[in-house]
Amino acid sequence: MPVVKTKDVCVGEVREYQMSSPLGTITVTACTSGLHTLSQPPHLSDENFSPNIRQEVELLSAKGEGDPPQAVKSCLHWLQVYFKDPAQLTQIPVSRPNICHLHTNNPGFRERVWQVLADTVGPGEVITYGALADRMKNPGAVRAVGSAMSNNPVGLIVPCHRVIRSNGLGLYHHGQRQMVKRWLLNHEGVHKF
C-alpha cells in the first residue's frame, strides 16, 4: 500500500504491527497520532485465497519497544468485531481507529473521498464509483474516485471493497483479489456478486 504523507498531524515514530486475521497476517503501521497503513498479506491473490473463518484477530508482533499506541489497540478491537460480526460495528457502535490521513490540515481529494466513504458507507452497503463522486459533489470525478480507491492506505477500515461499478463488482487490488472482495462483501451480508 502506498504511504501518504501526513506530516501535519503525526508525532513520534511510525512503527509496524502484525495481526492475525481470517485473511492472513495483516500489517498495520501507526504513530502515536493514528494509523498510517493497514495492509492485507502481500502474497494474497485469487489463486491462493483461502480464508480461515476460525482465525481470531490477535496482535502477533510489534517492531519497536513499549505498548502499542491507542490507534493500534483500537484497530485490533475494530478488526476483532469486524471479523466476528461486521453489523456490530454500527450496532454497538465501535469507534473507528484514528487514521492520520483523514486528519490532515489540508486534505486533498483522495483524503476527502476516503473520509466520505468511511463515514457514509457501512457494513452491508455498497456504492458505485459514480455515486461516490456525486457524494463528493464532483460527478465528473469517477476515475479520480477509482484512483483514490486503488491508493487507499487503510483498506477494510476505509472500505474500498464496498465501492463497485455500476455494472458489476469492480476491481479490487488491481483485479488481483476479486475473490477477497466477494468474500468481504458476503461476510457483510452482500450476496449479489
How far is residue 155's CA from residue 145's CA, in Å, rounded to a whole number? 15
Using the structure block, give the residue that is written with the C-alpha cell 456490530.
88
Q: Which of 10, 75, 100, 160 is catalytic?
A: 160
3 state SS of 127:
strand
The total number of residues written for the chain in this structure: 193
Do 37 and 153 contact (CB within 8 A), yes or no? yes
Task: DSSP for 29-50, please give it.
Answer: EEETTEEEEEE--TT--TTT--
Using the structure block, give the residue that is written with the C-alpha cell 469486524.
82
100 as an active site residue: the answer is: no
Give the catalytic positions in this structure: 160
